Amino acid sequence: SGGAMWGGRFEEAVSSVVERFGESVSFDKKLYRQDLRGSRAHATMLQAQGLITEDECKAIVSGLAEVESEIEAGTFNWRADREDVHMNVESVLIDKIGEAGKKLHTARSRNDQVVTDVRMWVREAIDEVRAKLRATQVALYDLAAANEGVVVPGYTHLQRAQPLLLQHSLLAYVEQLERDRERLLDCRKRVNLCPLGACALAGTGLNIDRHATSEALGFSEPLANSVDAVSDRDFLLEYVSCLSILAMHTSRLAEEWVLWTSEEFKFMLMGDSVSTGSSIMPQKKNPDPMELTRGKTARVYGALMTLLTLCKGLPQAYNRDLQEDKEPLFDSTETTIMVLEVVAEFARNVTFNTEHINKGLGAGFLDATTLADYLVRKGMAFRSAHEVVGKCVALGESKNCELKDLSLEELQGINNIFTGDVYESLGVQNSVNQFQSYGSTGAKCVEQQMQRWGDEFKKG
C-alpha cells in the first residue's frame, strides 16, 4: 500500500474512499517529465555535496531513465495507492534499484518537489502559449493584408460611429494579443524561481546546494525563503490571470465575428471547414468555433476563480488543498492553446463580403464627425460645429439621404460657412482618408502599422 512511504508510524492501510479522494496521480502524472528532471538535478547535487556516492547517483539516474522510457512506452504501472506522480516515480525507482533509490528523497519533501515541477510546467506552458499567440497574430495580420483598402463601419454602443479601414480594426486585435504575450513574459520572471531545497517548509540542516539545483533546472535563482517557497501559488494566479485576460480578448473577437457572419451584418463569409450545419434546419451555417471560443472563456475564468478561492484561506506553509491547483492549471492552459489555434484557423478560412459592406456604408452618417472637423478647420468652435452637423444629419434623415447628397444651398441654409470644398470631407471614403493623427485609421497610419507588424513577424 501507499503506506510503504510512511509505514513507520502506521498500522492500518488507508481506506479505499480516502484513497480515491486523495489520489492525484490520475491528473498530475502530466508532470512526469518535470518530476524526472527535478530528481536528476537533485541527485546530481546530492552527489556533488557528498550526501550520496557516485555509484548511488549513477544508479538513480539510470533508474530514472528506465522509469522515463516505461512511462513513454505506456508500460509504467501508475498506482492510485501511491497517491501522486512523485511517489509513483520514487516507489518504482526503489523497486528497481533498491537502497540507492531510498536516498533520492534526502533533503527533499514532496512540498518543494511538487511546486518545483509545477513551476517548470508553467514555464513551458508560457512559452507554448506565447508561440500560439504569435501564430494567431500572424493569421490576423494575413487576413488584414488580404483586405487592403476595405472600409467597414466602426461601432460604438454597437451603433454606427465612424468609418474604419478593416486592416485597422483587425490590427487592434494584434495589439491586444501582443500585450498578452508581454504580460506572460513578465509573469514568467516570477514563475522561474526555484523552490527546490525548501524541503517540507523549514529548509534542511543537510549541506545541500540550492543554487546548483536552481541553475541545473534553468531557474533564474532559488526562492529566498523556504516557507514562502512551499506556501504560495501566486505565480499560478498570475499566470491564469494572464490567460483570463487573453481569453477576454479572444472572446470579444469571437463575439464580433459571430455578429459579422450573421445575415444582419453579412460582413464575413465562413469557409465550410470552420462552420457547422444544423441537424434540423437545412439552410444553416453556424459560426460554432467562435461561439465556443466565447464559451470557453468561462472555463478559464472559472480556473482563475478556483485558484483564487483555493488559496485565500490557507495558513502557511504547505496545505493539501494545494493539490487542487493542478486541474484548473492544466485545463485553462489546454483550453487557451486550443482557442488560439481555432481563432487562427477561423481567420485563415473567412473572406470579407466587401460588395455587401460597401453597399451599406452610406447608412448611419459615418462621415458626420469628419464634417464637424471640416467646420473646425474653417474656424468654427467644435461645440458649434457639432450642433451645425447635427442639423445637417437631421435634414439628411428627413430627406432619407446621405450628407454628401445634400446640396450646397441646403448646407448653406443651415450655416453659411459651408463652401464647395465641403464635399471633399463627405462620403465614407473621403472621411476615412482624412484621418492622420498617430494611431488613427487613415491609410498612411494603417500602412505604417502593417509595415511595423510585417517587420516584427519576419524577425520570427
Return all residues near 74 (Cβ < 8 A) that are at least 6 apart: none
Q: Which residue is associated with the grid cell 467562435?
A: 290
What is the DSSP track for 59-96? HHHHHHHHHHHHHHHT-----GGG-SHHHHHHHHHHHH
Site string for ligand ARG, 76-115 (x = CB under 6 A): --------x-------------------------xx--x-
Q: What's the closest the beta carbon of residue 202 comes to ligand ARG, in angstroms?
A: 14
Q: Tell me the site size for ligand ARG, rule CB under 6 A.
A: 9
Q: What's the closest the beta carbon of residue 321 comes to ligand ARG, in angstroms?
A: 9
Nearer to ligand ARG, 27 or 457 (CB): 27
Contact between 322 and ligand ARG per CB under 6 A:
yes
How many other C-beta atoms lie within 10 A of the C-beta of residue 236? 27
* CA separation for the pair 87, 376 (Å, rounded): 75
Catalytic residue among 15, 157, 398, 437: 157
Return the residues of window 53-72 that contact ligand ARG according to CB under 6 A.
none
How many other C-beta atoms lie within 10 A of the C-beta of residue 253? 23
CA distances from 42 to 67, 86, 327, 419 (A): 16, 13, 26, 82
Q: What's the closest the beta carbon of residue 257 comes to ligand ARG, in angstroms?
A: 39
Nearer to ligand ARG, 320 or 458 (CB): 320
Q: What's the closest the beta carbon of residue 291 comes to ligand ARG, in angstroms?
A: 35
Nearer to ligand ARG, 101 or 195 (CB): 195
Q: Are strands 159-165 and 193-194 parallel, antiparallel or unpaired?
A: unpaired
The region of 145-153, 225-233, 255-263, 320-328 touching ligand ARG under the rule CB under 6 A is: 320-328
Catalytic residue among 16, 262, 278, 356: 278
The region of 64-72, 243-251, 316-324, 388-396 touching ligand ARG under the rule CB under 6 A is: 316-324
Respond yes or no: is residue 278 known to be catalytic: yes
User: In a 3-state reduction of DSSP, which class is residue 308?
Assistant: helix
Q: Is the dihedral of CA 2, 228, 106, 116 positive or negative?
A: positive
Respond yes or no: is residue 425 known to be catalytic: no
Q: Which amino acid is at 105?
A: H
Nearer to ligand ARG, 166 or 322 (CB): 322
Nearer to ligand ARG, 153 or 195 (CB): 195
**What cell numbers appear for 407 in the block?**
446640396
User: In a 3-state reduction of DSSP, which class is residue 154?
Assistant: strand
**What cell numbers appear for 90 in the block?**
520514487
* CA separation for the pair 206, 210 (Å, rounded): 11
Q: What's the closest the beta carbon of residue 43 comes to ligand ARG, in angstroms?
A: 19
Q: Which of 169, 251, 323, 433 binds ligand ARG (CB under 6 A)?
A: 323
Nearer to ligand ARG, 6 or 438 (CB): 6
Degrees to nearest 5, angle at CA 32 with 97 and 315: 105
Q: Are strands 151-156 and 159-165 parallel, antiparallel or unpaired?
A: antiparallel
Nearer to ligand ARG, 117 or 402 (CB): 117
Return the residues of window 6-25 that contact ligand ARG according to CB under 6 A.
24
Distance of CA 299 to the CA centre of its chain: 12
Catalytic residue positions?
Answer: 157, 278
Site residues (CB under 6 A) for ligand ARG? 24, 28, 84, 110-111, 114, 320, 322-323
